[in-house]
């Protein structure tokens, strides 16, 4: 049995890509996208007709609506190839505007419904700012399920659990990147790999806390830099993995054991945590890594959204 098939025994495997033509090879349950992945996909020749068709059909509409229609066009194609859910992201430039995030999410869901797709197959991705988490709480009350992304800290995970969001995507690789860069020459790759990887440790802490306190929010590790980070989280609810790493897992037949276990986590001696807005903002501020990576992630997604808009305007 290869490692990808072994991983499926413990964890729901999700593909992290906008390149939906790659999905058939790996048989993921779900798929996730973001503005950067969509931008990367539409620059490939095989996806340019989808971009051109969407822009031509809705050229008279506001640019933000054309963008949403393009995201939904990709989501529609992805859903035709997988049995589960697709995650579609709200514009990162709305990350600090609760009302605008709710409105954009509602429009995305309406566009999916217009395509005849059931809403339970769509997760709306929202940055895990305080405003984004409050928007997600409101959307969940409306029956619109959410995936809170750009999540780097325990404080963000606590607030998402309180908001009863459907799913969170804690970022493993970007946490790893920050600590490796911060350590510089002192970084010991071997000593900080596997279960000692700081990104893996972050997801493990969140997973164990959720299972200990019966929090129903699903934990989906994301943003992996290497296969070792993935195998160290075998047993996590879901893991969203880029095609390149899915291929590496499929090509490796080394044994893969379950690491995270919900029953074991439920027996841990952990203290409950609650955050109001002030407590959340202070806890996030105290975490230099999470503060920096959240801001950096929003800027990067926003910049790629602008690039995507410019591509559409050029057609």
Residues belonging to the active site: 125
Query: Tell me, what's the pLDDT at 176?
Result: 98
Tokens 């070792």, residue located: 228
CB 115 within 8 A of CB 91: no
Going by pLDDT thresholds of 50, 70 and 90, the confidence category of residue 35 is: confident
Q: What is the rounded distance in angstroms from the CA atom of residue 187 to the CA atom of residue 266? A: 33
pLDDT interval class at 197 (50, 70, 90)? very high
DSSP3 helix / strand / coil % (the chain, rounded to 5): 55, 10, 30
Q: E strand or H helix at 220, and its extent?
A: strand 218-221
Residue 2 has pLDDT above 90, yes or no: yes
Tell me if 3 sits within 8 A of 256, measured CB to CB. yes
Evaluate whether 259 touches 237 at the Cβ level (below 8 Å). no
The separation between the first and the last C-alpha atoms of the chain, rounded to the nearest angstrom, is 47
The alpha-helical segments, DSSP class H, found in the chain are 3-8, 35-42, 48-57, 63-79, 98-114, 130-141, 154-162, 172-183, 198-212, 227-231, 243-250, 262-266, 277-286, 288-313
List, in sequence order, every residue forming a beta bridge with 125; answer none if it has no partner. Answer: 89, 147
Cα(177)–Cα(163) distance, integer angstroms? 29
pLDDT digits (tens, 9 = 90+) for 130-175: 999 999 999 999 999 999 999 999 999 999 999 999 999 999 999 9
pTM of the model: 0.98
Q: How far is CA 93 from the centre of its chain?
A: 17
Place of tokens 């992201």: 89
| 75-117 pLDDT, tens digit each | 999 999 999 999 999 999 999 999 999 999 999 999 999 999 9
CATH topology assigned to domain 3-313:
TIM Barrel (3.20.20)
Structure confidence by residue, pLDDT tens digits, 234-281: 999 999 999 999 999 999 999 999 999 999 999 999 999 999 999 999
What was the pLDDT predicted at 130? 99
pLDDT at 122: 98
Q: Which of 24, 63, 58, 17 is nearest to 242 (CA)?
A: 17
**Distance from the Cα of residue 186 to its chain's centroid:** 30
How large a percentage of the chain has pLDDT more than 70? 100
Q: Which of 40, 71, 41 is nearest to 54 (CA)?
A: 71
């Amino acid at each position: 049995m290869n490692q990808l098939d072994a991983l499926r025994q413990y964890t729901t495997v999700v593909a992290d890509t906008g390149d939906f033509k790659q999905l058939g090879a790996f048989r993921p349950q779900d798929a996730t996208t973001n503005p950067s992945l969509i931008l990367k996909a539409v620059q490939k020749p095989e996806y340019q007709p989808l971009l051109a068709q969407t822009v031509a059909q809705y050229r008279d509409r506001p640019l933000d609506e054309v963008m949403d229609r393009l995201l939904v066009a990709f989501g529609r194609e992805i859903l035709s190839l997988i049995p589960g859910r697709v995650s579609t992201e709200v514009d990162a430039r709305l990350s600090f505007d609760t009302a605008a995030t709710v409105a954009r999410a509602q429009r995305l869901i309406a566009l999916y419904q217009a395509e005849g797709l059931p809403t339970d197959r769509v997760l709306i991705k929202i940055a895990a700012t305080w405003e984004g988490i409050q928007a997600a709480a409101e959307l969940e009350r409306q029956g619109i399920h959410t995936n809170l992304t750009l999540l780097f800290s325990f404080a963000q995970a606590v607030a998402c659990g309180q908001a009863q969001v459907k799913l969170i995507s804690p970022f493993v690789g970007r946490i790893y990147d920050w600590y490796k860069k911060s350590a510089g020459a002192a970084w010991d790759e071997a000593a900080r790999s596997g279960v000692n990887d700081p990104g893996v440790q972050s997801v493990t802490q969140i997973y164990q806390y959720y299972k200990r306190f019966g929090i129903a929010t699903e934990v989906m590790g994301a943003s992996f830099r290497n296969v070792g980070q993935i195998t160290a989280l075998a047993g996590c609810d879901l893991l969203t993995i880029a095609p390149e790493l899915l291929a590496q897992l499929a090509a490796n037949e080394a044994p893969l054991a379950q690491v995270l276990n919900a029953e074991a986590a439920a027996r841990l001696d952990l203290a409950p945590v609650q955050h109001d807005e002030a407590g959340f903002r202070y806890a996030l501020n105290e975490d230099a890594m999470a503060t920096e990576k959240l801001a950096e992630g929003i800027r990067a997604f926003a910049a790629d959204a602008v690039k995507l808009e410019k591509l559409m305007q050029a057609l």
